[in-house]
Every structure is written in C-alpha cells, then in structure tokens.
Structure 1
C-alpha cells in the first residue's frame, strides 16, 4: 500500500512538471503583453486658406467617406479675386491685339524703308561704277571733262540718297516696339488666375480617405486660418495594435509574425493580426542622451534593472468598427514559433 502511494505521488509530480514544461514552452514561444493599445493613422484637417466657415455638414465622431465635404469656407473673396484676374486677362488680350496691329504697321513701314535703302544702295553702286569707267576714259579722249563731272555729280547724289535711306531705315526699325512687355504681363495674370482658382478650391475641404471625424470643436461662423486645425480625421481603413513587448521577448519577432489581439472593451472577441514592424528605438528613462522624436515607454519598476519595452506594430486586417478606437486598451500575443524566416 505505501508503495502504491509513492507511485501515485511520483506520477503526480511528473505530470505537474510536464504541464509546467508545456506552459513555459508555450509562454516562451508566444509572449504576451497587456501594455498595448489600438491605433490608426490620423491627420489634422487644417485649411489652406483663411475665412469664415459657412458650412459644416459633419459632426464629431461621424463616419465619413472619401470625398465627403467636411467644411466650406466663405468662397466669395476668392471668387472675386478669380473674377478680377480673369477680367485683367481679357483686357490684356485686347491690348495685345491692338498693339500687335500697330507693331505690324511699324514693321511694314520699316520693311518699305529698307527696300528703299536697298534701291538707293544699288543706284549708288551703279553711279560709282559709271564714274570710275568714265574717269579711265578721260585721258584717252573718249569722255569729255563735262561728262566726267556729270558722272561725279550723279555718284555724289546717289551716295547722299543712299545715306539718307540708311538713316531712315534705322529710324523705322527702331520704331518697331513689340508686345513682349504685354505678353510677360499676361503670363503674370495667368499665374494669378491659377492661384485664385486653387484658393477657391481650397475653400472647400473634403475627406481624403474613409474615416471618422474626431476633436471637432467648432461651428458655422468660426473664422478658420491655416495655422489652426479644425478637426482630426481618423483613417478607419487600417487599424493596428501598438504592443510594447520586453526586449527579451523580441527574439524571432519580425515582419509577418502572426499575432492575436484582444481589446479590453470586449475580451470575448479575438482578432488575428500580423506584425508589420518592430521599433528600433525608444527614449530611455534611466538617463542617457538620445534624439527626441522616439516613443517613450515607461518602466513600471525603477529600483531594479527592468527589461526595456519596444513597440511592435501589429496590423489587424478585420477589426470590429464598433470596438476599435484609437487608444483603446488591448492585449497582444505574438506567435514567434510561426515567424517567417528572415525579414
């Protein structure tokens, strides 16, 4: 009988050790943390132009779709600026047409005077040639001195006509003004029109993705400015759980590692996820210099050495839209025994 009790006791001890070993192995392969929260990307909806809010068709915590109107700023100042720039453009177009006609007339006159100069140049060359030929014949008695004097006079007259025509041509060409200044001014006005059209478009702010409105604390009649956020828009298309795991639990935890998450709002619902990334830096709280901008994870015990925690970003492809809220407490487990090889 005593022997039987010893066997039972031995079996119980062995069974207990086996169960303990399985539990420890399970815990080692599937580390778990309750230092986690739900997360989604957010943007601050800040207007590009200033003005009075005339329409606000959304309310706080409302679900909106991509392209939905979030708010409208009084468009009249920007519409007036656009109308004014378009009117300036129309005036400049007419001025360019009229000026171009005048320039064309000036150019026609310059061309005519240039033709006259060319004719006068040809006549001078002919007169000079005639004079030179007769001058060579005077000594032989074939040409009289009177004829030579007449040829010299004709040459001098042709030269004077050529010089006068040259000066007139230069003057006529200098009088051709052009429309370059007006064309440059037109391009400037076109740029003003483009800016006015853009500002007019900016007076209406639409949702850039499906999401939920948050932190809306304004109403119609409030003056909006580019330096002030009107609301926050939560991107409900992608949800994550940011889980802070001890550095000793991060072995083999990499992109693609399967995970299981629960939200404290309803722990009966289990969600599957996948590790998207593991943080490579946090701000230590026990001293040391490190650049700002890194996440700060508080250690619960500061009088003994505690393993640092690093955020693990877990993508949840099928969240419960009624349960997932930014900052909601969560519990996460990573199955690093099923982690993919490499990264």
Structure 2
C-alpha cells in the first residue's frame, strides 16, 4: 500500500515578501527624501529681517518735541523729533546781519576809494608841475652861470636863480612824497567782496543747521529702541533710536553647504513665521552668503555672519545664509528676529543636467 504524504507549505518564501517590500519601500522613501531635499530644500534655521538705521541728528541740542513713541509706525516725511532751534536761528540771524552790514559798507568803501584815486591823480599832476618848474629853474641857472664872468648877469641875479632852482627841487621832492602817500592810501573793495562770499556760505550753513534741528523719517518704518524723552540732550551723529525699514522684508535662512548647489538669486521660495504658521508667504532668493565665521578655533573673520553649528563635536556641514525677499509681507506679523521656516523650489538648468551626465554630447 502506497501512502502519499502532502508537502508542507513554502513558509520561508512567504516570509521573504514582506521583508522585500519593506526594503523597497524604505529605498523609495530614501530616494524621495533625497529628491525632496535636492529640489525643495527646507530649513527652520531662519528668521525675519529688515534693514535698519540709527536715527541720529546732524546737530546737537535738547529735544523740545518728541513726536513718536516706541514701536510706532511712521511714514516717510513724518516728524520724529525736534531739537531746540534757537541757537541755530540766532546763528542764522547773526550771519544775515553781518552780510547786511557788509553790503552797506561796500558802497561807502567804494566812494572812499574813488576819493583816494582822485587825490592820487591830483598828486601825480602836482609832481608833473613840480618837475616842469624844477627843469625850468635848472635850465635858467645853467644859462646864467657862464654869463656872470662876462658881466652880463649880476651876482644878485645869479643868487636868485640858484634859490629858485633849489626851491623848485624842494617842491618837486614834496610833490613826489605826497604822490607816494596818496597812492599808498588807495585801497580796493576786492577784499570786502571776497568777505561777502564767506558770509553767504555762513548763512547757507546756518540755514542748513536750522533745518537739521527738525528730524523727519527718511522712509516708511517702525520705531524701535526709543529710550529717551523731551529735555534729553542729544549729540550730533549719535543715534537716538532705531528705525526699521518696513518697505522690504526678508527671511534669512541658513542652509547647509551641500544644499546650495541649485540655489541662486531668483529661486522661488515659500516662507512662514513660527508666530503664525497658518499664513504662507511667497518670495524669491535675493542673494546667497559667500562667507561665514568658520569657528575653527582660529581668529574670527571680522564682519562675517556667525552661524552656530548644531553639533560641535562632529564634523557637520557648514551653513550659509540665504537672503529671501518676501513679496507680500503681513505688516502685523513680521518682526525683526521672528523665527521662520523657508522652503525653496529649485530647478536644474541645462548646465546642471550636462554636469550630471558626463557622457552627454556637448
């Protein structure tokens, strides 16, 4: 009697399929993550940013009118504060009075100069007359001297001729001296005209300082760090508070260096703030950082961003700041330093595709 035994089911083979599927799904998931990271890099190491300036007056003085409060929104041209204008108003009035005095002095000086020129001309004419008289008496004396030996001229006549010659020479010397004095007394108005230009510059500077006593907002923004009040003395070129430029908002997103391959200016981005994750904002990459503090124990590079690494005992990829310009920011949500999340939508261009396929025809 033949007994046929049924073969047991292939249990090991049925157990392989779930493990295989799990491996395949895991591999697909890894590939999807890699593709996602490559085409849409994302980081929560980001924060909102806007340009700021320190509002400082051009002139010093006491604040007599503080027209804003801390965290207030202002428009371009709005009054921020006023410095006591009286010293600068008085300086302007003083310069204007000095100019008016000079303008009155110039015509008087011109008339005096004209009189001095007339006197100098008269003195020159007197010199010419004295020269003619001296020449005449000298010629007369020269003719009379040979005649006295022949008895044609008496000794008394010769003495009178000599006296006339010496008198004419003395008058000539006196006339020359007066002419020199008259010429030296002649002065012009050129120096006064040059002084007028200096006073006009002083007036322009005083008027500008008076305008500087009133400080207005250079652009739309929001006041920050206001810690002063009316009566406080402020110095020129020293900030009184900070003005945030709310016309343009950015998100500074720190991406790992191995994620920068396909990021370039113009790359589209989506950002949202941690204070309100329900609102998403579109933006574009404005620029990519080209330097950070390496934090390698050496000297810090002055002025470079200092980005902390998450693990300092393992060699991890460095992060570089990517500046994203937000296209339609919500003025009520965006604050400088607010935590944010940024997602970039990168695209591969033809050069990237050629680089990834070395065998492609050129």
Q: Report the TM-score, using the length of structure 1 for normalisation.
A: 0.81
1:49-198 equivalences under 5 Å are: 49-117=59-127, 123=132, 165-198=175-208
- 1:316 corresponds to: 326
Decide which of 327, 332, 336 is 2:342's aligned counterpart. Answer: 332
2:215 corresponds to 1:205: yes
- 1:219 corresponds to: 229
**Paired residues, number:** 335
- 2:42 corresponds to: 32
- 2:251 corresponds to: 241
- Listed one character per residue, the Cα deviations across residues 265-324 of structure 1 (whole Å, up to 9, x for unaligned) are 222222222222222221122312243221111111111111111111111122111111
Relative to structure 1, is the Cα distance of residues 152 and 88 closer, same or farther in structure 2, using a 3 angstrom cutoff?
same
Please, which moves more after superposition, 201-210 or 174-183?
174-183
- 1:262 corresponds to: 272
- 1:272 corresponds to: 282
- Listed one character per residue, the Cα deviations across residues 105-146 of structure 1 (whole Å, up to 9, x for unaligned) are 10122233334545666x589969x99xx99xx9xxxxxx87
- Gapped runs of 5+ residues in structure 2? 1-8, 147-151, 353-362
- 1:141 corresponds to: none
Tell me the SS of whatever aligns to 2:204.
Answer: helix
Relative to structure 1, is the Cα distance of residues 304 and 11 closer, same or farther in structure 2, using a 3 angstrom cutoff?
closer
Relative to structure 1, is the Cα distance of residues 119 and 256 closer, same or farther in structure 2, using a 3 angstrom cutoff?
farther
Whole-angstrom CA distance in 2 between matches of 1:258 and 1:192: 54
Whole-angstrom CA distance in 1 between matches of 2:211 and 2:246: 26
- Listed one character per residue, the Cα deviations across residues 204-233 of structure 1 (whole Å, up to 9, x for unaligned) are 000001111111122222222226422211
> How far off is 1:23 after superposition?
3.1
Whole-angstrom CA distance in 2 between matches of 1:50 and 1:339: 56
Whole-angstrom CA distance in 1 between matches of 2:59 and 2:214: 10
- Gapped runs of 5+ residues in structure 1? 139-144
The answer to whether the 8 Å contact 1:127/1:151 transfers is no
Tell me the SS of whatever aligns to 1:77.
Answer: helix
Relative to structure 1, is the Cα distance of residues 305 and 313 closer, same or farther in structure 2, using a 3 angstrom cutoff?
same
- 2:263 corresponds to: 253
Whole-angstrom CA distance in 1 between matches of 2:87 and 2:351: 60
> How far off is 1:152 after superposition?
11
